[in-house]
C-alpha cells in the first residue's frame, strides 16, 4: 500500500472511496447525515461506517486533534485492507494533522508477513491525501518528513519482529553494517576479542553461554556543522532466556522483543540521516544473547565491569543492565556528547508502574525531561517520569561488591534498574543523560492506536521529534 500527497481537492481526486473524519457535533452537517443516522453511526472514537452506495467511509473521532485522527486513520486503514477497494482518498487541509494521518495510515496499515507461506492478499493499493492550495509546498515538506519517520519506525518493527533464530548478535551487526552502507554512516563493530581488549567483562559474562558471539555496534552520522552531538545507546538482547535464573515458559514467548532498544536506536539514526538533520548522532548497541549452558554466568558471580565497578550478580535475568553498564561506559569515553540517551526493554516493573502503553523516563535533569514531554506530545508517543531517590538507591547495596545487579526489595524495580545504570554515568554527564524503559511500549499483543500486533517501534517518533526541536 502506498500513501500519496496530491495537489488536488478530493472532488478532483479519482479514488474508489472517500474517508471522512467526523465528530459527533458534525454528523448533522454531513451531506449523508440521514444515511449515517439510519446506520446508527454515533461518531464515537474509532467507530466506522461504510456507506458503499455513496463511496464513503465515515470515521468517528472524539475531537478534532492529532491523537484522535491518528487512531481513527489506523482503524480506517485496517477496514479498507479488509475490503475490495483498491484506492481511497481523504482531505488534508490542516498542517497539524499531517503527521497524524501519515502515522495512522502507514503504521496502522503495517503488516509483518515475512514468515507466512501465503501472505494475505490486499486489494488496497493507494491512499491519496488531497491537499490543494498555495501552501502545498509546505504540506509536501511536512509529508515527506513524516514519511521518513514512519518508515524508520516500520524498519525498527521489522527487525524486532524477526525470529530469534534469524536475529542474533552477529546478524544484528550485519543489519547495522547494511544500514551504514545504505545511509553513508560510519560503522565500527567489536567482536568478542575486541570486547575483551576493552575489558567489557559484564557484557561478555551475559553472552558467555550463547553459541553466538556478542557484538558492540557503533554507528555514526556526522553532518558538516552539527548543532549538537547526541549519543544513543540501545539494549540489544537478541533473545533473553533469563539465563540460569530461567524465565517461566510463558515469559519466554515474545522475548525476541528484548532487542527493541537496539532496533529503536537503529531506526533513529536512519531517520536522522535521511532527514539530513544538522545533529551529529552516535549509536552504540550491546548485542548479546542470554542463554543457558555449562559456562553460563551465575547468581553469586562477581563481575568487574569496564569502569572497574564490581557487580554482585543476584539474578541472571537482570542482564540488560549489565550489558548497558559496559556500553554506557564505552560510549562516554569514545564520544563527548551533549546528550546521552539509552533505550531498553529493561523491566517488567515499568509496565506495572505506567501500564503497557507508556515509556518510563528516568534521569537527573527535570528540564531535559520536560523537553521530552513536549516531544512526546508532538510525536504521539506516551511517556511518564519515574523519580530517582536515595532510599531506593540504598537497595542496590552489596555486602561483597560495589553494587548488586538487583534490588534487595521487590518494589520500585524500574527505578532501581535506572539507578543501577546511573552508577555508570560519569559525574560530568549526569545532567545530560536520560534512561528510557520501553519494556511495556515496545511490543504489543493487542492493537492500540496506530500499533498493530508485535513491535511498535517505540522511541523512534519520540526521538525524531526531540532532534528536530534542537536549536
Active site residues: 247, 321
The phi and psi torsions of 303 (rounded to 5 degrees) equal: -105, 140
Quickly count: other Cβ atoms within 10 Å of residue 471's Cβ.
4
Q: How far apart are CA 16 and CA 379, in angstroms?
A: 31
Cα 145 to Cα 126: distance, rounded to the nearest angstrom: 19
Nearest to 81 by CA among 20, 129, 16: 16
Phi, then psi, of 328 in degrees rounded to 5:
-60, -40
345, 320 contact by CB (below 8 A): yes
Contacts of 181 (CB under 8 A, 6+ apart): 187
Helices (H), 199-337: 201-206, 249-252, 260-274, 320-334
List of residues 6+ apart from 349 with CB closer than 8 A: 412, 413, 414, 417
CA distance 470 to 224: 16
**CA 352 to mean position of chain CA atoms:** 19
Which three cell numbers mark 93? 487541509
Report the residue count for the chain. 471
C-alpha torsion 127→132→138→143, nearest 10: 0
CA distance 326 to 150: 31
Amino acid at each position: 500500500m502506498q500513501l500519496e500527497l496530491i495537489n488536488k481537492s478530493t472532488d478532483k481526486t479519482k479514488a474508489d472511496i472517500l474517508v471522512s473524519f467526523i465528530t459527533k457535533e458534525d454528523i448533522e452537517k454531513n451531506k449523508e447525515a440521514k444515511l449515517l443516522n439510519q446506520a446508527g453511526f454515533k461518531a464515537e472514537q474509532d467507530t466506522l461506517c461504510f456507506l458503499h452506495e455513496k463511496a464513503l467511509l465515515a470515521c468517528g473521532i472524539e475531537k478534532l486533534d492529532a491523537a484522535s485522527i491518528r487512531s481513527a486513520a489506523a482503524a480506517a486503514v485496517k477496514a479498507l485492507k479488509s475490503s475490495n477497494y483498491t484506492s481511497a482518498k481523504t482531505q488534508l487541509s490542516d498542517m497539524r494533522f499531517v503527521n497524524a494521518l501519515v502515522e495512522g495510515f502507514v503504521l496502522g496499515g503495517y503488516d509483518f508477513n515475512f514468515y507466512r507461506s501465503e501472505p494475505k492478499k490486499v486489494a488496497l493499493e493507494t491512499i491519496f491525501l488531497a491537499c490543494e492550495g498555495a501552501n502545498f509546498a509546505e504540506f509536501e515538506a511536512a509529508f515527506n518528513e513524516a514519511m521518513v519517520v514512519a518508515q524508520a519506525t516500520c524498519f525498527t518493527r521489522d527487525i524486532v519482529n524477526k525470529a530469534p533464530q534469524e536475529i542474533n548478535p552477529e546478524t544484528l551487526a550485519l543489519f547495522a553494517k547494511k544500514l551504514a552502507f545504505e545511509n553513508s554512516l560510519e560503522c565500527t563493530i567489536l567482536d568478542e576479542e575486541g570486547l575483551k581488549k576493552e575489558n567489557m567483562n559484564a557484557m561478555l559474562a551475559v553472552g558467555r553461554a550463547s553459541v553466538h558471539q556478542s557484538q558492540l555496534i557503533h554507528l555514526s552520522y556526522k553532518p558538516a556543522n552539527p548543532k549538537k552531538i547526541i549519543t544513543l545507546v540501545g539494549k540489544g538482547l537478541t533473545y533473553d532466556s533469563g539465563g540460569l535464573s530461567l524465565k517461566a515458559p510463558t515469559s519466554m514467548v515474545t522475548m525476541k522483543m528484548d532487542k527493541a532498544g537496539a532496533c529503536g536506536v537503529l531506526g533513529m539514526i536512519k531517520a536522522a540521516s535521511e532527514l539530513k538533520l544538522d545533529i551529529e548522532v552516535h549509536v552504540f548497541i550491546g548485542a548479546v544473547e542470554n542463554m543457558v549452558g555449562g559456562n553460563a554466568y551465575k547468581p553469586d558471580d562477581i563481575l568487574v565491569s569496564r569502569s572497574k565497578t564490581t557487580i554482585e550478580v543476584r539474578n541472571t535475568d537482570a542482564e540488560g543492565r549489565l550489558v548497558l553498564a559496559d556500553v554506557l561506559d564505552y560510549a562516554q569515553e569514545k564520544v563527548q556528547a551533549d546528550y546521552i540517551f539509552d533505550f531498553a526493554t529493561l523491566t517488567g516493573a515499568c509496565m506495572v508502574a505506567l501500564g503497557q502503553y507508556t515509556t518510563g523516563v528516568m534521569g537527573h535533569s527535570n528540564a531535559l525531561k520536560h523537553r521530552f514531554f513536549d516531544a512526546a506530545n508532538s510525536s504521539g508517543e506516551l511517556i511518564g517520569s519515574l523519580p530517582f531517590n536515595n532510599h531506593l538507591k540504598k537497595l542496590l547495596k552489596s555486602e561483597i561488591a560495589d553494587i548488586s545487579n538487583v534490588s534487595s526489595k521487590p518494589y520500585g524495580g524500574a527505578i532501581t534498574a535506572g539507578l543501577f545504570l546511573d552508577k555508570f554515568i560519569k559525574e560530568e554527564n549526569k545532567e545530560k543523560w536520560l534512561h528510557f524503559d520501553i519494556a511495556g511500549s515496545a511490543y504489543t499483543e493487542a492493537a492500540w492506536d496506530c500499533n498493530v500486533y508485535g513491535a511498535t517501534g517505540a522511541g523512534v517518533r519520540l526521538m525524531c521529534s526531540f532532534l528536530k526541536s534542537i536549536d
